[in-house]
Amino acid sequence: MADNPQSNLSAILAGKRKISATLAGKLAKFFKVSPAVFVPV
């Protein structure tokens, strides 16, 4: 898979890649919400 963040985001949005725990944590911190928001149930 590509190493650049834009390609990674495109792959996540297309359903070809999952959000990692690290990315979920970073997104949660940025949006000031729980990381659980970004983890599928």
What is the CA 27 to chain-centroid distance, rounded? 7
Per-residue pLDDT, 1: 42
Domain membership of residue 24 as a residue range: 5-38
Residue pair 17/1 in contact (Cβ under 8 Å)? The answer is yes
Tokens of residue 9, six digits = 């985001």
Residue 3 has pLDDT above 80, yes or no: no
Per-residue pLDDT, 7: 86
Per-residue pLDDT, 2: 46
- Find all residues with CB under 8 Å of 10, minimum gap 6, and list them: none
User: How many domains in the chain?
Assistant: 1
**SS3 category, 36:** helix
